[in-house]
Amino acid sequence: MSRFQSAFFALTLVVLGVSMFLFTAGMTLGTLPVNGGAPQDNQPLDSDDYPDNGSRTQRDPIPEGESVWEDYDDIQDSPRYKDRPGNYQALFALYDFLEGQYQVQPEYRQAGFPLYIGGNDPPIETKEDLETMYKQFENKIRASGRKKKNKIRQFNIDLKEIRLFDLHSGADLPPRAETKLTEKQEVRVLEIRRRHDGRGLLIRSIEQHPALQSDKIEGTLDGSYYWYMLVRSDGVWKVVWFPK
């Protein structure tokens, strides 16, 4: 696993781990027997959290071979159900995209189209357009007789901060005082939202990139940010904007 991969994956696992710890701790404290003893009168430890669904009495043991876990009956009725499990899938999609960019020959994993790069470049409209551009680029390199190196591989990545902003269809963007977008960047985001409707996610990061071959450090050293945008389409997160 590369250092770049390890750093981003580690941050994602920390966020996921803390959330799962808090959830599990809350669940465990509400359900484990006190002082290591058995539940009194063989009653459920928290009948509010584990209501009787009518399939058996509360005193009946669960048969061997049957799972002791079941889902909530009413969660699918929530309008938020379609967004589950939240933003973790988006973080993994971004991780996979960045890991693809880190390869000796960069790959555009999890990319959505039109794909926006940086703040000014016109979007790449389709996957076929990207493949055509890539082929032309490779032909130019091939004709030169000198192989290309992927600059990103010279650097590690040190994520100092990552912030996620949910973007819902038809809703206004969060205020710039919160997102820290410049006016020009906000125009870019609005343009992308017009092309990519539905649920989206704006990701702001503060990154430092220490060189592996020298003491050089690049990244957001001047109070600026890196920006990424992902959209959810047909249940899959895709990266549609990333820094140049």
**107 neighbors 234 (Cβ within 8 angstroms):** no
CATH classification at residue 99? 3.10.450
Tally of structural domains, the chain = 2
Residue 3 placed within a domain: no
Distances 120 to 117, 146, 188, 243, 244 between C-alpha atoms, Å: 8, 29, 8, 11, 10
Residues 171 and 220 in one domain: yes
- The two structure tokens encoding residue 71: 């889902």
Residues 61 and 90 in one domain: no
Residues 71 and 101 in one domain: no
Taking residues 222-244, what's their average pLDDT? 91
Residues 102 and 35 in one domain: no
**Lowest mean pLDDT: which of 44-48, 229-233, 234-238?**
44-48
Instruction: Please say which residue of 65, 81, 97 terminates a domain.
Output: 81
The answer to whether residue 24 scores a pLDDT higher than 80 is no
In angstroms, the CA 162 to CA 90 distance is 13
Residue 234 placed within a domain: yes
Beta strand spans in 32-144 (E): 111-117
The pLDDT score that the predictor gives to residue 101 is 94
**231 neighbors 196 (Cβ within 8 angstroms):** yes
**150 neighbors 100 (Cβ within 8 angstroms):** no
Angle value at C-alpha 160, between 18 and 105, nearest 5 degrees: 100
Residues 51 and 115 in one domain: no
The answer to whether residue 29 scores a pLDDT higher than 50 is no
Residues 65 and 121 in one domain: no
Query: Which one has a higher pLDDT value, 197 or 14?
Result: 197
Residues 57 and 140 in one domain: no
Closest CA to 58 of 84, 34, 39, 75: 39
Residue 57 placed within a domain: yes
The pLDDT score that the predictor gives to residue 109 is 96
The pLDDT score that the predictor gives to residue 12 is 54
The model carries a pTM of 0.71
Residues 111 and 61 in one domain: no
Instruction: Please say which residue of 81, 111, 133 terminates a domain.
Output: 81
Range of the domain at 223: 86-242
Residue 235 placed within a domain: yes
DSSP string, 163-232: EEEEE-TTPPPPPHHHH---HHHHHHHHHHHHHS-SSEEEEEEEEEEEBSSSS-EEES-SS--EEEEEEE
Percent pLDDT > 90 in the chain is 59
Distances 87 to 70, 90, 226 between C-alpha atoms, Å: 23, 5, 18
- The two structure tokens encoding residue 43: 């009653």
Q: Ranked by mean pLDDT, which of 26-30, 80-84, 86-90, 189-193 comes out on top?
A: 189-193
The pLDDT score that the predictor gives to residue 6 is 53
Residue 9 placed within a domain: no
Residues 63 and 165 in one domain: no
Residue 122 placed within a domain: yes
Q: What is the pLDDT of residues 99-126, one digit of tens each?
A: 999 999 999 999 999 999 998 899 999 9
Q: What residues does 161 pair with on adjacent strands?
A: 206
Q: What is the pLDDT of residues 52-71, one digit of tens each?
A: 555 555 778 999 999 999 99
- The two structure tokens encoding residue 75: 């969660």
Residue 7 placed within a domain: no
Question: Side chain identity at 68, as an amino acid letter?
Answer: V
Query: Which one has a higher pLDDT value, 75 or 123?
Result: 123
Residues 139 and 219 in one domain: yes
Residues 106 and 190 in one domain: yes
Strand 158-167 and strand 111-117: pairing? unpaired
Residue 115 placed within a domain: yes
| List of long-range contacts for 7-10, beta carbons under 8 Å, 24+ apart | 7/156, 7/157, 7/158, 7/159, 8/94, 8/95, 8/98, 8/99, 8/157, 8/159, 9/95
The pLDDT score that the predictor gives to residue 81 is 82
Residues 119 and 234 in one domain: yes
Q: What is the pLDDT of residues 158-190, one digit of tens each?
A: 889 999 999 987 889 999 999 999 999 999 999
